[in-house]
Structure 1
């Protein structure tokens, strides 16, 4: 008999004697959940014996015959014996679960009742799943490291695969179990999981939360179409931020007008027209929306009439009236009325009043109409008479000038003839001739210029007796 200490040392290495021996390689296995595990095993038995049964078992209980796992319902469909009854005792255990973590042994029985053998110690199997370890929250721009962890070091060399939102990150297939995201972006947020290449098991997903300041801030105007004075209008501010923005401010131009995500205006008026924008704030920063314009439509108001006195009043005795109003859209339709008359007397923004009276205009757009106050127009008749008089005077002046031109032509012709006659007479005859000529009816209407040659020869009494028309000339 060998000393007890020697027997103990031999059993630690899987050997009981030189005749019976079971060797496991490796003796410790770390397997991934849902994978298949090969337990390599060789054995020897005494010469002259015949093997009658070989099987694998687990957790032997003292005084109880070890159970055959191939007969256990939990293992029967998953356990496959790959060895023989000579030397090889290898098995494959498929679809391992966390419950399969045990120490397993090989046992053989010979035809000799006293020769039964269990290879102790056996193969220790640890089944592990995968877990992603990452910070719960990171801020945009930070670097973050995710780790794919297992409860033991996998026996097989593993290549890790990473998934975001169930989609593989094909550009990130690392041999180590870490995923490094440098300068993380909001697009990197999502649910991350990991797996080992060649295996079906995927870890539970872990949410990576990337926080960032507001962006894509915008204003939504409820309703559609035109906003008419008197309507109720609601503006809604929306933004993309993490954590969600809870602080909203509203501005008209550069003036603060309200707070809250929703800004409402009841019975809106034209005074509310203008550009509006909102500001969204969270713990990481703030951002303004683009401005939106509220264009409030309203019917004509402040309708008034202006009187324009122009030179036309001299030409035709009329007064021009102009109608003006404040409306949106601008009024394009104008009607003119004479007070106490139901029918319109004109249309268009301007109107020419040809008679005296009180007139008013009415401005229209698609949202309504409004009339002006009446104005008094006085068209004076003597202006028309004056115009006629001026026309008569101007016509007479033209006729007069034509007459003067004709007389002068006659004077030049007569002067030439007279000069010839006077030069051939004595001086006393010349006076007489002038006397005779002036009394001639032909010269009854001569001009003052024609009398110049005779004035020196006429005495005052003769000049006084000239016809009245000649003296006026």
Structure 2
């Protein structure tokens, strides 16, 4: 008799010890922007009750008439929320195309048949939505090494594979499980806009600009016109230089500095302009001179000179420059 009573009490205890409860795993989820996230959930309830309705909610404002609305009926969620569970134990749901506006604490809720009991699964699960961000130095000198890091405060899995982009084009050779892009011996061609993404995800991080600085190179002088210069003409010399940051340009005639700026104008050419000219390109990382150019100034001839000597007249034609 005592044994039967003990069994009866155990059955009663088990029946009433199974109370309403909801378990979330994990309680905090960090999702990448535009990705899909699955919130794992299980629930229990007394076996003598029947589940009438199950749904997910996010609002916790007891001052409203509808304090815990069904998200599947919310236009902002109806096309993105998918209930993957059942009405027995599983309450897992998927939320797709998450954005910053989805950052909330979410709760699973169920309604039973007993006195229309509505149970809210505390403490809920917190969803955080974060962007990927590229960390990079603002500038790097040509020849140095630079490290770019694709960062997110989301706890990404070890299986995450990173993809890097330069100027919106994928660096196909850089698909790595390491979130660091290392550029050895940086070239000026490495300058550009960098961003990162996770493989199998459409979201790409905002771009950051990598600025590669270097001293002047390819310095040369160009002269307008045909190259044949007559006294009194005007000549324009142009200095071409490749550098970052832009270089300061100065002009040297012989060994003397005679001007500055990319363009050097000489008006009313004279004989003393027949010299070698070159330009110097200089920035904070170095300087370089162009090859020298010489102005080829043509003579204007005197062709009629009359000389009187001993009553004889001679007409002498000579070539005499005016200078």
TM-score exceeds 0.5: yes
Aligned equivalents of 2:50 and 2:225: distance in 1?
93
What SS is found at the alignment partner of 1:84? coil
What SS is found at the alignment partner of 1:300? coil
- Report deviation, 1:116: 2.5
Cα contact 1:32–1:154 (8 A) shared by 2 = no
Change (3 A) 1:370 1:359: farther
Which structure's CA Rg is the greater one?
1
Cα contact 2:158–2:177 (8 A) shared by 1 = no
Aligned equivalents of 1:17 and 1:164: distance in 2?
60
The residue number in structure 2 matching 1:243 is: 245
Aligned equivalents of 1:36 and 1:256: distance in 2?
70
Structure showing greater relative contact order (alpha-carbon pairs closer than 8 Å, 6 or more residues apart)? 2
| Counterpart selection for 2:224 from 209, 222, 225 | 222
The residue number in structure 2 matching 1:445 is: none
Q: RMSD of the TM alignment (CA)? A: 2.7
| Counterpart selection for 2:316 from 360, 368, 375 | 360
* Bigger proportion of residues as strand: 2
- Report deviation, 1:43: 2.3
What SS is found at the alignment partner of 1:89? coil
Cα contact 1:275–1:292 (8 A) shared by 2 = yes
Cα contact 1:36–1:94 (8 A) shared by 2 = yes
The residue number in structure 2 matching 1:278 is: 279
* Bigger proportion of residues as helix: 1
- Report deviation, 1:269: 3.0
Normalised to the residue count of structure 1, the TM-score between the two structures is: 0.58
Cα contact 2:102–2:127 (8 A) shared by 1 = yes
The residue number in structure 1 matching 2:288 is: 287
Question: Which contiguous aligned blocks of 4+ residues in structure 1 show a shift greater than 6 angstroms?
Answer: 336-340
The residue number in structure 2 matching 1:193 is: 195
Query: What are the superposed Cα offsets for residues 103-144 of structure 1, whole Å, 9 maximum, x if unpaired?
Result: 211111111125332221222211100111111122222222
Aligned equivalents of 2:110 and 2:198: distance in 1?
36
Cα contact 1:30–1:155 (8 A) shared by 2 = no
Show structure 1 runs of 5+ residues with no match. Answer: 1-15, 304-335, 341-355, 364-368, 372-473
Q: Does 1:96 align with 2:98?
A: yes
Cα contact 1:140–1:211 (8 A) shared by 2 = yes
How many residues align structurally? 301
- Report deviation, 1:288: 0.8
Change (3 A) 1:297 1:102: same
